[in-house]
Amino acid sequence: MGDLIPFPKPNVRLSKEEYQRFEELKESMKHARTRAEVNYFYQQAKILIEKAGQRDV
């Protein structure tokens, strides 16, 4: 269903594991078959980035 979320902004630092998980979520979104799956993977990626952003503050 395409790329729906961009790479993390440069000011958000992801650990190696977080970045790997983010890439897995992006790939899952690309292969999602339903809108619900896309929304789920998007929300998971968004939560991951938000937590990383809060940690850096």
- Strands, DSSP E only, in the chain? none
pLDDT at position 4: 58
pLDDT at position 54: 86
What is the number of other CB atoms lying within 10 angstroms of the CB of residue 25?
Answer: 21
pLDDT at position 11: 74
CA nearest to 2, candidates 27, 25, 22: 27
pLDDT at position 53: 84
pLDDT tens, the chain, 57 aa long:
455 566 555 578 889 999 999 999 999 999 999 999 999 999 999 899 889 888 865
